[in-house]
Amino acid sequence: MSLTADVNPFSIVTAKLRNLFTKYPEWRTWGLSLLAWAFLLYGLFNMPGEASHAGRSIYCLPGGGASLQAHGANGAAAEGTFAGILKTVFDGLKQWNIMVIAMMFPLLNEPIRHVTFSVRRKDRTRGILGFLLGYVTVWMAVGLLFMLLPLFIDMLVGKQNQLITALIKASGFLLAAALTWQPARLVKMTKCAQTMPIRINAPQLYTDTIMYGLKMGAACFNMCWAPMVALMLAHHNFFLMWEVTLVLLCERYILPHTSRLPGYAWGIIAFALYSIEMWG
Amino acid sequence: MKERKNVYQLPAGDKTLEWYAKAVLEMKKRPTTDPTSWNYQAAMHGFYAPSPFWQGSAPLPSAADQARFWNQCQHGSWYFLPWHRMYLAYFEQIVGATIVALGGPADWALPYWNYSETTPHARDMPPAFVSPAAPTNGLWMAGRASNSIPARYVTLGALNTIPYTGDGRTSPLGFGGPESVFSHGGSPHGQLESLPHDMVHVAIGGAMGDPRTAGLDPIFWLHHANIDRLWQVWLNMGAHRVNPVKKAWLDFKFEFHDKNRPPVVMTSKDVLDTRTVLTGYTYQGVPAGAPVVAHAMAAAKVANVAEGIQLNERVDASTTLDVVAATNKPNVLSSAKTLAHLDLPGAPRTRLMNFAAFTKEALVPSKPAMSILHFEHITGKGVPPIHDVYINTVENDGNKEAHYAGSLSFFGVEESSVANVHQSGSGQHYALDVTALMDSLKSLPNWNAQRLDISIEPSKPMDANTSVTIGRISLYSE
Ligand SMILES: [Cu+2]
């Protein structure tokens, strides 16, 4: 008689599933990313791209850069107060964080595994939360700076010249493409896989995971800032974000690390943006 | 079909080493820009311009060529074995072609150095590599620290490791190394890679002690032929010893140059059977089996069920371990022994947190819980000596060996301490399976369920220009 015959097959299936979740702890970050995408998709269908609403996000609006005009014209009057500005910043950061969660969290498989398997099983969720807190903090700081970028460029060149607008929209992705050929890029990429010792007892469990998150946020920004700036400059929309995310995912997980394909992808996006603006 | 022979069993009057020496000298004459030159071949494993061993190697190939073909060696990775097999095959082809051009035989094959044999001089480097000690001897190399390997560093416990892949955290330790991407951040070295591979490198020292110079020493190639042979020996031992079946392992492309110099591509799938690697080869005394892939894997799974083997011993190793204890500060090693301790969580854990929990009680084995001691984020400089690790030693009890857990080679530690295009600079990672040792220590009078004392002792004094820091020591257990 086979000894294994007595094992409840249902238990084996659940145990296997549980094992899968244990072995691939990045299901958490991928899950959060999916939620963020769902939120953005919901926004796409439920918030028409009108710019009349004061205090609307200046980032990932489905309507692209329309809200910038709101800020430039009637928006300024509506938000002239300190509270108004705060609200703009707050809403902007909220949108920015959703964008970071949607686009960047799926790139974190290696650090998430490092944290998960460095701490006690009972502390895994705590450790991952600490890490994500540190990670998001870096991107938030960057987000504040980025928030000013489109406004600043708007102020500088205004809306008149179609050619300049087209060039600006395309320039970020051209920059991203050019940076793909930068020799230091490969080292930047390996730094996205760096790890550090994590102590397993509180309070160091928290300080170490947050520190690691900060470190990885910086490494990640160092690697991915150009496409993110490009998104800002292009007054990006849902579909552009989606394309950028796809390229980043391929670069991180599928293509050989020396591949220049992401560079060509950025170039094509730049050309497409330019064409749409000029002749579209 | 070539046969790679045991260097200590070459018949009297055999010319294998003589021709090898001639070819080395010939290849050394070629400029570093030539893919078939001695320098270029060594640089494919690793290159480091500031090293004295690389003095005078300029002019060098273009930066693009260097980025594409140099510093490719795979360590701390499941690609370790297949990459080195490919590397050796093309090297052997290039040396062979050089020998033919010099008027030598067409069937030259790389010999292997089996230092693990019990014959009297097995652990001594073959004499032809040692004397005459002059640059006119193609097999001699300046700067070696030792021509003999201590017995402890050539043991073959790795062959008892069943899974090929494993990291000692999400699974038991693996024979061939952890699943990894090409560029990675400090994954643990595989069992065969740790011992004897890394140990032999560091015990010989000099150029051999650092992956960025190791290929310059002609003994490197005989050492790696032996490691490559042990891969086949392991497969031949059967009992669920099988190669990975994941596409990521089978299909990953590596680039080399063949004897005609153009780039060539190889994958792990191309080197599963030594008899079909280039013109094919076997090892003296080792039957070359059919490639052990998916079929064997499936068969092994069926066998598991049929034999009623505990579910937690399946070849796909579904166990995940949990960290039991970890140090709170980095340990800086010195020429004196370094003492560290781990705070254990008290009473020994008895419940197995794995598959076995779902099986009937009768199936739960009464064997000791797996315990793996990890040394993580190891950074350092130079070629530090091998360090031996002991657990719970008692002063002068005369039975120190009963406390020996294993050794740390730190092979390549300097390179691993700084980010480069291949790895993140997070340092090295070694793991020792201490399951049996922990079990035996528990029966000793000095066993303390709350504390584990770890002693890390250098096998010889550390040079002033070397250093090692171990970021974290941790114990993982079922
Ligand atoms: Cu080696």
Is the four-CA dihedral B139, B142, B144, B145 of positive or negative sign? positive
What mean pLDDT comes out for the span B453-467? 92
Q: What is the pLDDT of residues A169-184, one digit of tens each?
A: 778 888 888 887 887 7
Q: State in Å: Cα B291 to ligand 1 middle.
A: 24
Residues of A whose CB is below 8 A from B349: none
The reported pLDDT for the residue numbered A261 is 84
The reported pLDDT for the residue numbered B445 is 83
Among the CATH numbers 2.10.10, 3.10.350, 2.60.120, 1.20.58, which is that of B321-477? 2.60.120
What mean pLDDT comes out for the span B238-261? 90
Residues of B whose CB is below 8 A from A5: none
- Contact call for B185 and A194, based on CB within 8 A: yes
| Beta carbons within 10 angstroms of residue A187's beta carbon | 19
| B260 touching chain A per CB within 8 A | no
Q: State in Å: Cα B410 to ligand 1 middle.
A: 12
What mean pLDDT comes out for the span A88-106? 87
DSSP string spanning B280-319?
-EEETTB-------HHHHHHHHHHHHHHT--GGG-TT---
Contact between B436 and B391 (Cβ < 8 Å): no
CA angle B99–B105–B109, rounded 5-degree value: 75
Instruction: Share the mean pLDDT of chain A.
Output: 78
Q: What is the pLDDT of residues B182-195, one digit of tens each?
A: 655 567 889 999 99
DSSP string spanning chain A?
--GGGGS-HHHHHHHHHHHHHHH-TTHHHHHHHHHHHHHHHHHHHHS-S---STT--SSS-TTTTHHHHHHHTHHHHHT-SHHHHHHHHHHHHHHHHHHHHHHHGGG-HHHHHHHHHHS-GGGHHHHHHHHHHHHHHHHHHHHHHHHHHHHHHHHHH-S--HHHHHHHHHHHHHHHHHHHT-TTHHHHHHHTT-------STTHHHHHHHHHHHHHHHHHHHHHHHHHHHHHHTT--HHHHHHHHHHHHIIIIIS-TT--HHHHHHHHHHHHHHHHHHH-
The reported pLDDT for the residue numbered A159 is 62
> Regarding predicted confidence, which is higher, A131 or A270?
A131
Top-level class of domain B2-294? mainly alpha
Mutation target for A interface from B332, B376, B421: give the one with most A CBs within 10 A.
Answer: B421
- Strands in B387-391's sheet, in edge-to-edge order, are B338-343, B451-458, B387-391, B404-408
The reported pLDDT for the residue numbered A236 is 63
Nearest in space to A214 (alpha carbons), one of A131, A134, A122: A134
| A252 touching chain B per CB within 8 A | no
Q: State in Å: Cα B203 to ligand 1 middle.
A: 12
pLDDT at B19 over 80: yes
| B359 touching chain A per CB within 8 A | yes
pLDDT at B359 over 70: no
Both structure tokens of A132: 């994500």
Q: What is the pLDDT of residues B386-415, one digit of tens each?
A: 999 999 988 777 788 899 999 999 999 999
Q: State in Å: Cα B21 to ligand 1 middle.
A: 20
Alpha carbons B139 and B136: distance in angstroms, whole number: 9
What's the residue count for chain B?
A: 478
Alpha carbons B371 and B351: distance in angstroms, whole number: 14
Longest CA–CA separation in chain B, Å: 71
Q: What is the pLDDT of residues A206-253, one digit of tens each?
A: 999 999 999 999 998 988 888 888 887 776 678 888 888 888 888 888
Q: Which residue intervals of chain B bear CATH 1.10.1280.10?
A: 2-294
pLDDT at A33 over 80: yes
Query: Of A41-45, B219-223, B412-416, which one has max mean pLDDT?
Result: B219-223
pLDDT at B364 over 80: no
What mean pLDDT comes out for the span A86-94? 83
Is the four-CA dihedral B141, B144, B148, B153 of positive or negative sign? negative
Is the ipTM here above 0.90? no
What mean pLDDT comes out for the span B215-225? 97
pTM across the whole model: 0.85
Nearest in space to A270 (alpha carbons), one of A238, A239, A237, A227: A227
| B306 touching chain A per CB within 8 A | yes
| B308 touching chain A per CB within 8 A | yes
Nearest in space to A156 (alpha carbons), one of A229, A88, A68: A68
Amino acid at A28: R
pLDDT at B300 over 80: no
